[in-house]
């Protein structure tokens, strides 16, 4: 009886593992293209939190999903894949900023911080931001969404500083099935 029970448990384990692998094979994971914000921090004596730039984008979600054989109903999750900020002004760095945030919003949803850097080391000219693991697909379902760059300016900005922020979304979707496959 003990061998029979172990045999059934082994069979069920193999069936479960093979079903799980089949389900994973039906999932689609991909990164979209970068959304890019080019902006300038102008000279200012003001310190504190400042909005640097906001730009609205048409997500063209249906076209993107169709390239991967998906539609809105089969899209399970959209997260931030990567968020970067770089200074393009020669001899400039992030020393004038204590922290940096990238915010998303749409007409239907309130602003949400999706990427950030709480502290910035001296002398840096590029940042790889920490990213939120929150699902942001609802923002991409909107006709347009807006990305905003903001930060805490800690000192007088004497010269204009050119920056570029880039964010890439990661998409997960597909029909994962619900049966056991045996």
The DSSP code sequence of the chain is: -HHHHHHHHHHHHHHHHHHHHHHHHH-EEEE-PPEEEEEEE--BS--EEEEEEEEEE---HHHHHHHTT--GGGEEEEEEEEEEEEE-STT--GGGEEEEEEEEEESSS--EEEEEES---TT-SEEE-EE--S--HHHHHSS-EEEEEEEEE-S-B-S-EEEEEEEEEEEEE-----S---
- Domain assignment of residue 17, yes or no: no
140 domain residue, yes or no: yes
Q: What is the CATH number of the domain that holds 69?
A: 2.60.120
Structural domain contains residue 14: no
- pLDDT for the residue numbered 109: 94
pLDDT of residue 64: 92
Q: What is the pLDDT along the chain (182 residues), one digit of tens a residue?
A: 555 554 554 554 454 444 444 444 468 999 999 999 999 999 999 999 999 999 999 999 999 999 999 999 999 999 999 999 999 999 999 999 999 999 999 999 999 999 999 999 999 999 999 999 999 999 999 999 999 999 999 999 999 999 999 999 999 998 644 333 33
Based on the structure, what is the number of domains in the chain? 1
Q: Which structural domain, as residue segments, surrounds residue 98?
A: 29-173
pTM: 0.80
């Amino acid at each position: 009886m003990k061998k029979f029970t172990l045999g059934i448990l082994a069979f069920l384990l193999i069936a479960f593992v093979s079903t799980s692998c089949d389900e994973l094979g039906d999932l689609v994971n991909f990164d979209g293209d970068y959304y890019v914000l080019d902006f300038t921090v102008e000279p200012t004596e003001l310190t504190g939190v400042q909005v640097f730039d906001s730009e609205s984008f048409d997500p063209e979600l249906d076209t993107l999903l169709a390239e991967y054989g998906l539609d809105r109903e089969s899209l399970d999750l959209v997260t931030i894949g990567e968020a970067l900020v770089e200074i393009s002004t020669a001899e400039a760095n992030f020393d004038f900023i204590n922290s940096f945030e990238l915010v998303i919003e749409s007409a239907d949803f309130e602003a949400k911080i999706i990427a950030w850097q709480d502290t910035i080391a001296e002398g840096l000219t590029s940042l790889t931001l920490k990213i939120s693991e929150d699902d942001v697909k609802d923002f991409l379902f909107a006709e347009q969404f807006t990305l905003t760059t903001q930060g805490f300016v800690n000192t007088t900005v004497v010269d204009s500083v050119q920056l570029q922020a880039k964010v890439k979304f990661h998409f997960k979707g597909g029909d994962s099935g619900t049966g056991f496959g045996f």
